[in-house]
Structure 1
Amino acid sequence: MAWRRDNSAFDFHFFRFFNSASPNNTMSSGLGKNAAGVLNMTIQEVYSSSENWILYFQSGVYFIRNYDYGGDLQIGVDSKTATQPRLLKRNGTLGQQWTLTKAEDGKSWLLTNGLLGKDLFLGLDGAKPVMTADKTKGTVWGIEMNESAGLPAAGNDLITSVQNLESPPVSSSSSSSSPTASQSATPANSQTAPPTTTNTGLLTSPTSSSANGITSSVEQPSQSLSAGGFEFDWGCCGVGFAGSGAGGKD
């Protein structure tokens, strides 16, 4: 299949979500899919497979997919989940589209949802990720690459595009018909080939690029970016984060 070229600083790696409101924990979804897609903050490396996430950048927004559950599910909200995100069947609706913007410290991130708008942020209610307008409730996230999780192999559905992306309604004060990511989270370079490194064998169920409403069409980035507290180096597939720590996958 053709690799998607709508690149961001998060491409081709697994990342873990940390939050100072829940120290020593990472965002995960159970062990061996036993949580049915429900999100929680759990002790780092205890639920180590499901604490690894792909942030798939397409058309200015991110789709967030899980190591254990694969590309068939993405974090999102809908009429049933309200403001409590969980893993849902993949589609291109606004509820599964995420925008990442840099926090005030220049290293961490704020996440907003296409359906709920820019006034609600991914935060915490105890150990549960929720959407909240209260910025004191864990709305600042550290996103760190986990090299030990390896890389998804070419053709795996974790790194394939979504069809039929929904656009937000056009207001009278805006001429834009589609959401855009912040400058700090937009495409990082214009190379046309993926890194040659493949996964470590941890992902074993790649699917066809035509399954589940996905497409392998190639999108060409037109911007160059130095993304916040890191640089993306296509030569060696490394991402450096301020405060990034090595972690293991069981």
Structure 2
Amino acid sequence: MSPPPISTLIPSTTILTAVLPPKSLKSPPHSDSNQPPHSQSQSSSRFSLIPTTRREAAAGVILTSIVSLIPFLHQPPVATAFSFGISGPKDWLREQKKKASKYLLAPIDASRNSLKAAYLIITGSGTSPEKDLEEVQRLLISASRDCIPQERNSIVTFQSNTGVEVCTFKLVLKNAASLLDDKDPKLVDAEAKLSDLERSFSSLNNVANGTQLVSDRQKVADALMDTISSLNNFEQGVKDCLEI
């Protein structure tokens, strides 16, 4: 909205005259009639520049104050000033997620380390196949992060049945994609990679529980490599959602 014209801010002469009626100037006492005309004109000019009453002086102060406020009428609204060069809350949250990506991706990295440790056991020359198998199964449970339904304990199953999400990978993706629309291509792709990872963990778990480690080491090793590959793909999907 454009500022009102200055003429509406400054009182008219008629209003000032009505409110502040002028008073006749009194000639200074003891005027010297013998004073030269030039001096008399200078004295009259000096007196004409000085308000003769308090009311006229107050009127001058009011007019000066009104004029001094006029530049502020041209200032832009505060909202307009803040709309340039300042990122919104969504942009700020996105940057914070990028900065915290190391911690968000930490569970994925920990699962990958567990799978690699299991792979080293499978491909190594262990002296106790039974103990090796137990250690591999323990590592798989740790790496799956409660994302294999048949491996969930009773408490986790109860939480899942009540609508509480317990799969760590799903929680990671939900956090990473919280600023994206449900149909965003990056989120859709990451969800597909998560589904593939869950199937890979289920398949690996079935292989590890239904095999004899002495005769089927290579079969378990191949399943481990497939799961590590699926985990890497899922991690990339999460990074795409974070735009890193």
TM-score by length of 2: 0.20
Max Rg structure: 2
Larger RCO: 1 or 2 (CA < 8 Å, sep 6+): 1
Q: Which has the higher strand share?
A: 1
TM-score by length of 1: 0.19
Q: Which has the higher helix share?
A: 2
